[in-house]
Chains A and B, each alone.
Chain A
Amino acid sequence: RKEVEQDPGPFNVPEGATVAFNCTYSNSASQSFFWYRQDCRKEPKLLMSVYSSGNEDGRFTAQLNRASQYISLLIRDSKLSDSATYLCVVTEYASGTYKYIFGTGTRLKVLA
């Protein structure tokens, strides 16, 4: 079983739609949680951290459920520029530092 699992998609949605991505992680000792965005042929970049209380950044809302080991990302009012791969990331303490464990990513295509 993979440490971090995501539906690979693609999710094809029209502009203006609301879309939700889910992610599950296997290690209950995971420390921190993030969503990263990766554009085609580019490096991943931080989209937002995810907190237990839930957090929002503009059109983006992230939720964490530690009991169910589940993370979600909601994008409202999708834009063409939101088309990318969204990576779920957890951290685990190992050998003196924190490792960043990535899911395989969920591909989003926003259609005009």
Chain B
Amino acid sequence: DVKVTQSSRYLVKRTGEKVFLECVQDMDHENMFWYRQDPGLGLRLIYFSYDVKMKEKGDIPEGYSVSREKKERFSLILESASTNQTSMYLCASTPAGAPSNTEAFFGQGTRLTVV
């Protein structure tokens, strides 16, 4: 059974803290993505990576950074957490190549609350 695993389901952090969200996939996928999901706004792409050590900005990268040191692991970093980063964070992965019939597999999500 394919799996994308996020390190925490629920997280509460204080304003100004540095926060690490970890995502691991066991499918040997090249591509990994980080989204945040907010009511009325849907899933918005923060960062993505198509290879180890490669990273690309998505639509809302401000306030975030990422790290991909190994193929299976993609970390999202909130350099200095703020209350407007309270959200559901979802990690996804896909194999390389044309996605005409390629499913994006998601982790179970991390609900982050910044207080």
Contact = CB atoms under 8 A, between A and B. Distances in A.
A1 interface: no
Q: Please classify the interface of chain B as helix (H, G, I), strand (E, B), loop, or mixed, using the class held by over half of its residues.
A: loop
B90 interface: yes
A14 interface: no
A32 interface: yes
Interface string B91-115: 0101010111111101111000000
A34 B48 CA distance: 19
A103 B42 contact: yes
Contacts of B31: 97-98
Contacts of B41: 104
A31 interface: yes
Contact of A99 (B42, B58, B109): B58
Contacts of A45: 106
A32 B82 CA distance: 35
Interface string A95-107: 1111111111100
A100 B98 contact: no
A7 B92 CA distance: 24
B56 A95 contact: yes
Interface residues of B, number: 31
Interface of A: 8, 31-32, 34, 42-46, 49, 87, 89, 91, 94-105
B92 A100 contact: yes
Given A96-B54, A97-B30, A49 B35 contact: no
B19 interface: no
A32 B64 CA distance: 28
A46 B104 contact: yes
A43 B30 CA distance: 20
Nearest to A88: B42
Nearest to B51: A96
26 contacts: A8-B40, A31-B100, A32-B100, A34-B103, A42-B108, A43-B90, A43-B106, A43-B107, A44-B43, A44-B104, A46-B103, A89-B104, A91-B99, A95-B48, A95-B50, A96-B56, A97-B30, A97-B96, A98-B99, A98-B102, A99-B48, A100-B33, A100-B92, A100-B99, A102-B42, A102-B43
